[in-house]
Chains A and B, each alone.
Chain A
Amino acid sequence: MNKSLLIFVGVLFTVVFSLSGLVLVPDWQFSGIGPFLAEGADPSEAYPQPLSGGAEQGHAVYVDLGCVYCHSQQVRPEGFGADINRGWGNRRTVMRDYLFETVNLMGTMRTGPDLANIGARQPSRDWHNLHLYNPAITSPGSTMPPHPFLFEEGADMQHVPHGAIMLPAEWQTSEVKYIVPNARGKAVVDYLISLNRQFPLPEAQ
């Protein structure tokens, strides 16, 4: 090849071609898709809803701590993997579930379990707090790192602050008997509890 113009044009064509085909066409194909609202239902019952309040702040914490590197948020269909059999969701997740996602958190790794429906599967705040503080407390054998920086620790039993969570007796030490989630800790639990993608969307049945 002696024509540098041919290389130049060819090279740009191939990449624009794939961007259009793979990304822009699906974007256009699904641009009309909106939240699902059953006939006669109140608009507040539409699914999905954008995150708000504590869950929205918790989403930012989930992003900055990089939870996605070990936890996916997608349920593969029945018969493809064992996602549904493991109880990670009662149906596959579909495009509409991610309508308002501002960051791609679908994930590519399951060092830990999928979290697409963790709010439905594990609604207890105390469980999440203890698990985040030290995963070994709730899940012996887990390799998830402890997140002590999301909590204040305390041992003064005379002045136990409001919202404190007592550690199980065998985990208490002279320095730490209870933990109190800080603002980031509260927010990330708000977010985790909000994760529920089991709404019976017609296209996912």
Chain B
Amino acid sequence: MATAVVEAVPAVNGQSDVAEAISRAQIDRSCRETVSIYYASAIFWLLVGSLLALVASIKMHTPGFLAGWDWLTFGRVRPAHLNTVIYGWASMAGVGTLLWLQARLAKVRLPLPILLPATGLVWNAGVAYGTLAILWGDGTSTEWLEFPVSVLGFFGFCLVIVIYASLVMMMKRRVHHTYVSQWYLYGAVLWFPFLYISGLFLTLAPNVNGSVRAIANWWFAHNVLGLWLTPIGLASAYYFIPKVTGRPVHSYHLSLLGFWTLALFYNWAGTHHLVGGPIPAWVVTVGIVGSMMMFIPVLTVAINHHMTMWGQFHHLRTSPTLRFVVFGAMSYTIVSIQGSLTALRSINEVTHFTHYTIAHSHLGVYAFYSMILFGSMYYILPRILRTEWSSAPLIKVHFWTTAIGIVMYFIGLSWAGIEQGYMMNNADIPFLDVVAYTIPWLASRSVAGTLMTIGHVVFAVLVWRMFRGAAADQEGPTLLNTPEGLSSTVTGWLRRRSAAKSQGGAA
């Protein structure tokens, strides 16, 4: 990949450059076991989550599908899907990336070479137990917190060790100045355990008013996205865009503003999920204000990333990492603006309780976060395993199936949701007519989901081959296209053909 662009720059001082490269390789090596376990598990849960998603999606337009067993009923498969992708795929891919980035940025080796890989196994046990518990009927029906309370034991054990490792790397860092990615990562690693414990306690403890449970539920669920996944995604974008393009981040001050405004405002926005609900009006208003204030960090990050990319878009042609990360970063801007607007009462009146919300959440967790994490894995795995990706065409298949899949998913369900909302708000339209209207759109979602799943299987094959060491026999990184020209593509073929023709003409 295009690290070549960065690392091939001739050093002013040749010797220290070599020392730096050796040190970097040693840091990557120290991450091998831990990050491998986290990444391989994440991809396993991505496949499980995709399968559960397809089952749930098909059930929505074909209700008789697998309807005979209670463990496969929609109301269990759907939360099983959400929890495997959030706590299996997204969180495990996130922890792997977070640890590698922290080691790289602090320029220290990853500590705890036994304990950290062990946390990967314990985390898996927690997700497996929690998912099975949902399917056999021990889920809590509290959205985003469906795992039984005891899963906290598994996650808590892992998080304590991950926090400890993070703090050790921060204290022992060999670079005095901290980079913007580090702020987000330290935020994420401290925020998530706090959220999980208080979210669990306030939604499920006895003697809490039912309405307060609802507020706590959405304070938690929104913040898993805002203060756990988002900071990891942004930290990766802030690292990989400058790394691959070889240009520094556009503005330090914008980075600073973006980070602290996100930290201040994001966690007030969650109650916009309860607009019109039976909770104090001021709590909803605060949620709407928080959502509006989110324009500041979102536009700040958007400008900063866009200005860093300015003039560098040609790298998208070659670098798998950059292609996925830039797709994700652009989705972040779109999903955040959409989210802020959806908090407005007039829009929320229509879109609340509809498939529009589902489309929005997938734009966030998938088009933004997951795409950035795919990009990060394309960069990190070759470095920790010291081997290359085996097939550029398969990487392209991965990119295009997932990119087209999520766009189709988003457009279909958003449109269905808006229409569904307007129809539901007109009491003259029978409810079952609203249901009938959405069915073709729900079927389109199954097609989109199948495309995305194909992409995931291709990615899993690529990673599997990488772990087996079956990489192509090559010297340099695997690029999507050679930088000189699109030799392997139709464009390249056309160019060669026209070149041959003009030669023929000259003769």
Binding site for B on A (CB under 8 A): 1-2, 4, 7-8, 10-12, 14-19, 21-23, 26-27, 29-31, 33, 62-70, 72, 74, 76-77, 80-82, 85-86, 92-95, 97-111, 113, 135, 139-150
Q: What is the CB-to-nearest-CB distance from B76 to chain A, in angstroms, rounded to a whole number? A: 5
Q: Are A66 and B202 in contact (CB under 8 A)?
A: no
Q: A15, A16, A19, A62 — which one has the most chain B CB atoms within 10 A of its CB?
A: A15
Q: What is the CB-to-nearest-CB distance from A120 to chain B, in angstroms, rounded to a whole number? A: 17
Q: Are B431 and A113 in contact (CB under 8 A)?
A: yes
Q: Are B74 and A82 in contact (CB under 8 A)?
A: no
Find chain B residues with CB under 8 A from A16 CB.
194
Q: Are A74 and B280 in contact (CB under 8 A)?
A: no
Q: Are B68 and A106 in contact (CB under 8 A)?
A: no
Residue of B whose beta carbon sits closest to that of A84 = B427
Q: Are A66 and B209 in contact (CB under 8 A)?
A: no
Binding site for A on B (CB under 8 A): 59-61, 63-64, 67-70, 73-76, 78-79, 137-143, 170-171, 176-178, 182-183, 186-187, 190-191, 194-195, 198, 202-204, 206, 208-217, 219, 223, 227, 256, 260, 263-264, 267-268, 270-271, 273-274, 276-280, 283, 286-287, 345, 349, 352-354, 357-358, 424-427, 431-432, 435-436, 439
Residue of A whose beta carbon sits closest to that of B202 = A23
Find chain B residues with CB under 8 A from A92 CB.
278
Residue of A whose beta carbon sits closest to that of B183 = A7
Q: Are B424 and A66 in contact (CB under 8 A)?
A: no
- CB<8 Å pairs between A and B, sample of 19: A7-B182, A23-B198, A23-B216, A27-B208, A30-B280, A69-B74, A81-B425, A85-B427, A86-B431, A95-B209, A99-B210, A102-B210, A103-B203, A108-B357, A109-B357, A113-B431, A143-B61, A143-B439, A145-B64
Q: Are A14 and B263 in contact (CB under 8 A)?
A: yes
> Given the complex of chains A and B, what is the CA–CA distance between A26 and B139 in angstroms?
27
Q: B73, B79, B171, B177 — which one has the most chain A CB atoms within 10 A of its CB?
A: B73
Residue of A whose beta carbon sits closest to that of B267 = A18
> Given the complex of chains A and B, what is the CA–CA distance between A20 and B79 in angstroms?
28
Q: What is the CB-to-nearest-CB distance from B481 to chain A, in angstroms, rounded to a whole number? A: 39
Q: Are B79 and A22 in contact (CB under 8 A)?
A: no
Find chain B residues with CB under 8 A from A93 CB.
278
> Given the complex of chains A and B, what is the CA–CA distance between A93 and B214 in angstroms?
14
Q: What is the CB-to-nearest-CB distance from B207 to chain A, in angstroms, rounded to a whole number? A: 10
Find chain B residues with CB under 8 A from A94 CB.
278
Find chain A residues with CB under 8 A from B74 CB.
66, 69-70, 145
Find chain B residues with CB under 8 A from A80 CB.
276, 345, 349
> Given the complex of chains A and B, what is the CA–CA distance between A14 and B187 in angstroms?
10
Q: Are B274 and A106 in contact (CB under 8 A)?
A: yes
Contact partner of B268 (CB less than 8 A), chosen from A1, A18, A139, is A18
Find chain A residues with CB under 8 A from B214 CB.
98, 104, 106
> Given the complex of chains A and B, what is the CA–CA distance between A17 and B49 in angstroms?
34
Q: Are A81 and B349 in contact (CB under 8 A)?
A: yes
Q: Other than A12-B190, A86-B431, give 14 A-B pairs with Cβ distance below 8 A.
A: A1-B256, A15-B267, A18-B223, A64-B139, A66-B73, A68-B141, A76-B276, A98-B214, A103-B204, A104-B143, A104-B217, A110-B354, A143-B61, A146-B63
> Given the complex of chains A and B, what is the CA–CA distance between A100 and B207 in angstroms?
8
> Given the complex of chains A and B, what is the CA–CA distance between A95 and B345 in angstroms?
20
Tell whether A30 pairs with B212 under 8 Å between CB atoms, given A66-B79, A108-B143, A146-B67: yes
Find chain B residues with CB under 8 A from A10 CB.
260, 263
Q: Are A101 and B215 in contact (CB under 8 A)?
A: no
> Given the complex of chains A and B, what is the CA–CA distance between A12 and B267 in angstroms?
12
Tell whether A26 pairs with B208 under 8 Å between CB atoms, given A11-B191, A145-B63: no
Q: Are B431 and A63 in contact (CB under 8 A)?
A: no
